[in-house]
Amino acid sequence: MTLQLTDEQAKLSQVVREFADDVVAPAAYEYDTQRRLPVEIIAQMGDLGLFGLPFPTEVGGQGKDYLSLCLAVEALARADQSIAVTLEAGVGLGIMPIYRHGTPEQQQRWLPDLLTGRALAAFGLTEAEAGSDAGATRTTAVQDGDAWVIDGSKQFITNSGTPITSVITITAVTGEVVRDDGATVKELSSFLVPSGTPGLEVGPSYDKVGWHTSDTHPLTLSGVRVPASDMLGDRGRGYANFLRALDEGRVAFAALATGAAQGCLEEALRYAKERHVFGREIGANQHIAFTLARMQSRAHTARLAYYDAAQRIDARLPFKAEASMAKLVAGEAAMANARDASQIFGGYGFLNSSPVGRHYRDAKVLEVGEGTTEVQLMVIARSLGLSA
């Protein structure tokens, strides 16, 4: 295994980096203030092929590996975490389940627009009392002839209410099953619910601390009726089928956090060379220099961690613990670098117009989303044979 990028991967990273600098960064504050997802920028990302990166050309994808997707997410997150998570969630939680578990008919219906960025898909798993503990899911789906009727609610669902959202995958309880140990547990299945389906209500966008440009809504499902052909995957495999997608998502999420950590470093380094106090640049002060050195070390370590996890995915090696370690390390690196960058910037780092200020607001969710820090520690501990 090598952590050296191929020429193709390095070129992709550079192309997306330039796109982030030239297109995303100049508009970031405007869209952050408007709290609106810029679908015009999403369309340009589609034109670059970013939404189709890890999918084979046979279904309309770009035929690249999972590391390539992570590289694109990192490059975008340097400039704007909201845009980066729109790609990360759109691919990992939106497209991947349909590609991996959808029937040929479902793939033909949804993938062409999703893989080109003309549409976005969402993943409705989280509920008020069910997220990491999916067994607490309360949303139900009851069979009625050749259809299923879904009732319940979801929350914190990314990409669920954009003008181009086309479909939302919903997990729901479809019955009960008896495990090998004799315990009775909920049977979870998943369904494709097209946007605009009667009974599907997309609630008002959350008033979030950060990620203002990212689209996030609660959902209510009241008598939502979908045909049996819209079940995604086999009955009773709704959560099991998403476990790999969730693990993969943590690797891409780690790439996003690494991009945030890198963006904070680059902004702080630039400012430390430009800002002069008492007759010299502040970067000449040992404390500032050492702070930047620590920021560089955090970003580098986080990058190595997600490179390793992503290459394990591409090599079809076990990666569950490595995904959690990457997510843990990168999330903490982003939070620490955002704090240090804000301190270096002083008052300017407290302005919403400052990239550093926005990174500071945004970074906290990187220790919460896609599984909290505590969940990652639990997964890592279990990999050590501990019953955490």
47: how many CB neighbours lie within 10 A of its CB?
Answer: 10
Q: Quick check: is 370 catalytic? A: yes
Question: If we measure between CA atoms, which residue out of 387, 378, 371, 163 comes closest to residue 248?
Answer: 371
DSSP letter, residue 95: I
CA distance 295 to 201: 43
Distances (CA, A) of 178 to 186, 238, 239, 269, 336: 9, 16, 16, 58, 45
Q: How far is CA 327 from the centre of its chain?
A: 11
Q: Say which residues have a Cβ less than 8 Å from residue 215's Cβ, sequence separation at least 6.
A: 37, 86, 158, 159, 160, 161, 162, 165, 205
User: Are residues 93 and 249 in contact, defined by beta-carbon separation less than 8 angstroms?
Assistant: yes
Distances (CA, A) of 161 to 151, 154, 200, 203, 282: 19, 13, 11, 8, 45
Phi, psi of 327 (to 5 degrees): -65, -40
First to last CA, the chain: 30
Structure tokens at 240: 């099991």
One-letter amino acid of 25: A
Marked catalytic residue, from 88, 267, 367, 370: 370
194, β-bridge pairs: 167
What are residue 217's DSSP bridge partners? 157
Q: State how far the Cα of 225 lies from the Cα of 231, in Å rounded to an integer.
A: 11
Provide the annotated active-site residues.
Answer: 370
